[in-house]
Amino acid sequence: MTIYFTKDHEWIRVEGDTGTVGITAYAAGQLGDVVYVELPETGAKFSKGDDFAVVESVKAASDVYAPVSGSVVEVNGALADAPETVNAAAEGDAWFVRVKLADRAELSGLMDQAAYEAFCEGL
């Protein structure tokens, strides 16, 4: 299992040909209290960089971008009833979707944990 990060503060945890996607703890902290999460339907397809979800907080609404191309195989329905989970466990229980990867080569453009932490320090 390997975790990758984007400059837009999404993470993807890859196991085999499936990736679990969410937003980082840094992003959740910047958003403040999350009050609503809009997720795609199972079966939705998107390309790397497409917006696929929306997170609304008391401060703002923010698009969430696909770290890789793929199709949604599972949606975290628990976030509909408990969007605040994003603040409590952004990189754990508050995952957004699981996707079947269309092209594993797209992972090479993402950051590992150390590179992401260094990126955030520079913000």
**pLDDT tens digits for 27-52?**
999 999 999 999 999 999 999 999 99
How much is the pLDDT for 74? 98
Give the domain extent around 88: 2-116
Is 62 a domain residue? Answer: yes
DSSP letters, the chain, are: -EEEE-TTSEEEEEETTEEEEEE-HHHHHHH-SEEEEE-PPTT-EE-TT-EEEEEEESS-EEEEE-SS-EEEEEE-THHHH-TTHHHH-TTTTT--EEEEES-GGGGGGSB-HHHHHHHHHT-
pTM, entire model: 0.96
- Residue 48's pLDDT is 97
Residue 121 forms part of a structural domain = no
pLDDT for res 1: 78
123 located within any domain: no
- Cβ contacts of residue 108 below 8 Å, gap of 6+? none
Q: Determine, yes or no, domain membership for 122.
A: no
Whether 49 is in a domain gets the answer yes
Q: Give the pLDDT band (50/70/90) at residue 112.
A: very high
Please tell me the total count of domains within the chain.
Answer: 1
Q: In this model, does residue 6 exceed pLDDT 90?
A: yes
